Amino acid sequence: MSDTTTRDEGLETIREQRCHGGVQGVYQHRARATQTTMRFSVFVPPQAARAPAPVLYFLSGLTCTEDNFTVKAGAQRYAAARGLILVAPDTSPRGDDVPDDEAYDLGQGAGFYLDATQAPWSRHFQMETYVVHELPALIERAFPARPGVRGITGHSMGGHGALTLALRNPGAYASVSALAPIASPLACPWGHKAFTAYLGEDRARWAEHDATALLRARGPMATLSARLLVDQGDADGFLRDQLKPELLDAACAEVGQALTLRMQPGYDHSYFFVNTFIGDHVAHHADALR
Amino acid sequence: MSDTTTRDEGLETIREQRCHGGVQGVYQHRARATQTTMRFSVFVPPQAARAPAPVLYFLSGLTCTEDNFTVKAGAQRYAAARGLILVAPDTSPRGDDVPDDEAYDLGQGAGFYLDATQAPWSRHFQMETYVVHELPALIERAFPARPGVRGITGHSMGGHGALTLALRNPGAYASVSALAPIASPLACPWGHKAFTAYLGEDRARWAEHDATALLRARGPMATLSARLLVDQGDADGFLRDQLKPELLDAACAEVGQALTLRMQPGYDHSYFFVNTFIGDHVAHHADALR
C-alpha cells in the first residue's frame, strides 16, 4: 500500500495493493466534465507489464461507489488470467457543492450515465462525457492500456449505462455486456424519476438514453465484435417493476441484434449474483478484445 | 433472499442468497458458550444437495464480523467447485451488555479464539468452546455437513485461532492452514495486550494459546492429514512487529511439523491478499477432507 502520491497531471493515487499478481488501485482526479473530483478504481493485470492491455469498463448501480465492484465482485482473478485492465468509475459526481436528493435513486450515487440538461443537475452531472471520453483518455495516458481497445459492462443502473453508452457511441466499445441491467428507463419508475429530473419532461429526449428505444432507432450495434451478453437473476426483487429484460429481448429480436440473455435461476440483485457470473463476462470481453 | 425465519432450535435465518450454484446464508442463534446471540455465515455448495459435505471453518481477524470474509474473500467459487461447506463465525461475542474496550484490538471484534478466565471478560468471551464445540455441533445438525469432517483456516487473529485451536484439540480438524497469522501472541503487542486481559499475568497460561509454544510442548499435529499451509505477504505492514511467521517456521522445524510457508511478494494484510490465495487454501483443505 502506498501513500497518496501525485502522477500524470493531477492524477492522485489513493492506494495501490497487490492482488492476483497485478495491482488494484484507487485514484482520483479533477474532472473537467463534472467539475468535481472523481474517484475510480483500476486493476492492472500482470500481463500489462509486458504489453499494453485491453480495458474493460464496469459501471456500477444505484448507491454504489467505485468500491463495491472492486471489493465484492472478485473480477480481478479473471482479469489477471485473461490480461484485461478493469476500470470502475464512481456512479456520479460527489461533493458538498454538488446537488443531491434525499432518495437513493436520484443525485449523488445515481448519475444514470448521461449528460443532464436540467438545473440544478446539468452543471456537474455529465457522466456520459466523463465515462466515454474523459476517463478513457486519462486511463490510456496514465496506465498501460491499449489505446481504443475497450469493452463495457455494468450492473443494474450500470447495465443501463453500458448498453446505452455503447449504442450512442458507435465504435467506442468493441464488446458490451450487462448484469441485471435496467433494460428500459422509459418503462420503469427509476427511469421516469431520473430522466424527468436530468432531462426534463420531453420523452423524445428520454428515448435517446433508453437501450430498447436506441436499438429500434439505430438498429444493431455494427461495431460490436461479439453478441450482447446479459445475465439476469430470476429471483431479483427488481425484475418485474424496474429491470424488465423482456423489453430488451424484444427490441433485439426486432432489429436483429445478437443477444444472449441468460435467466439465472434463484439469483437476486446482489453482488453474490455479480460475483457468480462476472467471470463469464470477463471471458466474453477478453475473447472479443484480444 | 428470504425473510428472517426460524429453524432448528432457535437458529434464525437472517438471509440466504444464491451464489455460485449454492446458497450463501447468514444466521444467528443464542449461544450457550458466550451467553449471547452469535451470528455466522454458511456457504452450502450445490454438491451438498446430494451428499453431506466436509466443512471448512474460516476464522476472521481483528475488527471483522462474519461479513468480511463472506463478501470480500471470494471463497464461494472455490468451495462450489470442490464441494466444501464454508462456515465463518463472528470474531467475538457482541451486545450492549458484553464488555468492550475502546481499542480495536481488545473486547468486541477481538475475541482471540480462547476462553477468557479473567473478569470482566470471562462471562461471555468463551470463543474456543464456541468455535470448537458448540458451533460445529449446530452446523452438523442444521446443515448438510459430514459429521466430524472439518478443516480450519483463518486470517491474522483468525490464523492464530486456526493454528491454536487445531493444536489444542487433536482430532478436531483434519486439515489446517492460515493466512498472515499472528504466529506467536507471546512475542507481539497484540498478544501481550489481549492475553493479559483475557488470561491474566501468568505467562504459563499464555503459552497454552500460542502456536509456537504449543508446537514445542506437544510436538507436530499427529491427526493432520496434510502439511500445514501458511501464506504471508511480504509487504504486510504488521509482518515484523505482530505476525512474525519466522517464529512459526522455527518451531515447526524444531519439532518436525510439516509446514509450507509461502512469502508472497508485494502483498499486504488486506482482503485483496486473502482473495488472491484463498483458492489455494480451499484446495488444500478439499484435498485433505475428501
* Per-residue pLDDT tens over the stretch A1-50: 344 555 556 899 999 999 999 999 999 999 999 999 999 999 999 999 99
Q: C-alpha B11: how far from its chain's center?
A: 21
pLDDT at A2: 44
Q: Which residue of B has its CA nearest to A273?
A: B19
pLDDT at A74: 98
Query: E strands, B20-166, where?
Result: 22-31, 36-44, 53-59, 85-89, 145-154
Would the CB atoms of A272 and B1 count as touching at under 8 Å?
Answer: no
Which chain A residue is nearest to residue B279, measuring alpha carbons? A77
**Could you report the per-residue pLDDT of B132-180, keeping only the tens digit for each?**
999 999 999 999 999 999 999 999 999 999 999 999 999 999 999 999 9
Q: What is the per-residue pLDDT across B44-100, written as a single tens digit (0 to 9) for each?
A: 999 999 999 999 999 999 999 999 999 999 999 999 999 999 999 999 999 999 999
Which secondary structure element, helix H or strand E, spans residue B264, and what is its range? strand B259-264
Question: Is the pLDDT at A192 greater than 90, yes or no?
Answer: yes
Grid coordinates in use for B240? 515484523
Distance in Å, alpha carbon of A231 to nearest chain B alpha carbon: 14
B219 touches chain A (CB under 8 A): no
Beta-carbon neighbour count of residue B11 at 10 Å? Answer: 18
**pLDDT at residue A3, rounded to an integer:** 45
Nearest to A267 by CA among A225, A226, A228, A236: A236
Indicate the helix (H) or strand (E) that contains B255: helix B245-255
Across the beta sheet with A175-179, the strand order is: A5-7, A11-19, A22-31, A36-44, A85-89, A53-59, A145-154, A175-179, A228-233, A259-264
Model pLDDT, residue B225: 82
ipTM surpassing 0.95, yes or no?
Answer: no
Q: Which residues pair with B25 in a beta bridge?
A: B16, B42
A20 touches chain B (CB under 8 A): yes
Catalytically annotated residue among A236, A249, A281, A285: A236
Considering CB atoms only, which of A17, A235, A265 is closest to B270? A17
User: Contact A257/A230 with Cβ under 8 angstroms?
Assistant: no
Picking from A155, A124, A120, the residue whose alpha carbon sits closest to that of residue A236 is A155
Residue B236 falls in the annotated catalytic set: yes
Q: Determine contact: B77 vs chain A, CB below 8 A.
A: yes
Note whether A204 contacts B: Cβ–Cβ < 8 A: no
State the Cα–Cα distance between residues A85 and A251, nearest whole angstrom. 31
Q: What pLDDT does residue B10 have?
A: 85
Chain B residues closer than 8 Å to A271 by CB: 71
Contact: B275, A235; criterion CB under 8 Å? no
Q: Which of the following is catalytic: A156, A175, A177, A184?
A: A156
Mean pLDDT score of chain A: 96
If you measure CA to CA, which chain B residue comes closest to A278?
A: B20
Q: Do A275 and B20 touch (CB under 8 A)?
A: yes
Residue owning grid cell 448498453: A163
* B223 — pLDDT class (breaks 50, 70, 90): confident
CA distance B18 to chain A (A): 5
User: Which of B155, B269, B284, B285 is the catalytic position?
Assistant: B269
pTM of the model: 0.95
Cβ–Cβ < 8 Å for B97, B63: no
Q: Is the pLDDT of residue A259 over 50?
A: yes
CB-based contact (8 Å) between A3 and chain B? no
Confidence of residue A115 (pLDDT cuts 50, 70, 90): very high
Beta bridge mates, A15: A26
Q: Count of residues for chain A?
A: 290
Is there a contact between A183 and A204 (Cβ–Cβ < 8 Å)?
A: no
pLDDT at residue B34 tops 80: yes
Instruction: Tell me the per-residue pLDDT of B102-128, one tens digit each, with 9 for 90 and over.
Output: 999 999 999 999 999 999 999 999 999
Residue B7: pLDDT over 80:
no
Q: What is the spatial distance between Cα A69 and Cα A87, in angstroms, rounded to a whole number?
A: 10
Options B115, B231, B236, B249, the catalytic residue? B236
CB atoms within 10 A of CB B279: 19
Secondary structure element (H or E) that encloses residue A163, with its range: helix A157-168
The whole-number average pLDDT for the span B267-280 is: 98
DSSP type of residue A110: B
**In the predicted model, is pLDDT for residue A225 greater than 90?**
no
* DSSP tag of B267: -
pLDDT tens column, B235-273: 999 999 999 999 999 999 999 999 999 999 999 999 999
- Are B71 and A72 inside 8 Å of each other by CB? yes
| Cβ separation A235–B20 shorter than 8 A | no
- Confirm whether A156 is a catalytic residue: yes
Contact yes or no for B19 and A268 at CB 8 A: no
- The reply to whether A41 belongs to the active site is no
Put simply, the answer to whether B273 touches A18 (Cβ < 8 Å) is yes
pLDDT value of residue A222 = 84
Residue reference for cell 481483528 = B62
Do residues A49 and A22 make contact, with C-beta atoms less than 8 angstroms apart?
Answer: no
pLDDT for the residue A144: 98
* B276 Cα to chain A: minimum distance (Å): 5
Query: What integer is the mean pLDDT of B269-285?
Result: 98
Answer yes or no: do A237 and B1 touch at CB < 8 A: yes
Q: In 3-state terms, what secondary structure has residue A121?
A: coil
Q: How many CB atoms lie within 10 A of CB B255?
A: 16
pLDDT in tens, A144-188: 999 999 999 999 999 999 999 999 999 999 999 999 999 999 999
Q: Identify the CA nearest to A165 among candidates A122, A93, A214.
A: A214
- Is the pLDDT score of A193 beyond 70? yes
Interchain proximity B268–A20, CB inside 8 Å: no
Work out the number of other CB atoms within 10 angstroms of the CB of residue A10. 12
What whole-number distance in Å separates Cα of residue B78 and Cα of residue B120? Answer: 41
**3-class DSSP assignment, residue A119:** coil
C-alpha to C-alpha distance for B135 and B165, rounded to whole angstroms: 13
Inter-chain residue contact A1 with B276, CB threshold 8 Å: no
The residue among B103, B213, B89, B97 whose CA lies nearest residue B152 is B89
Chain B residues within 8 A of A72 when measuring between CB atoms: 71-72
**What is the rounded CA–CA span in Å between residue A109 and residue A157?**
10
Shortest Cα distance from A19 to chain B (angstroms)? 5
Q: Which is nearest to A174 in space by CA: A228, A249, A213?
A: A228
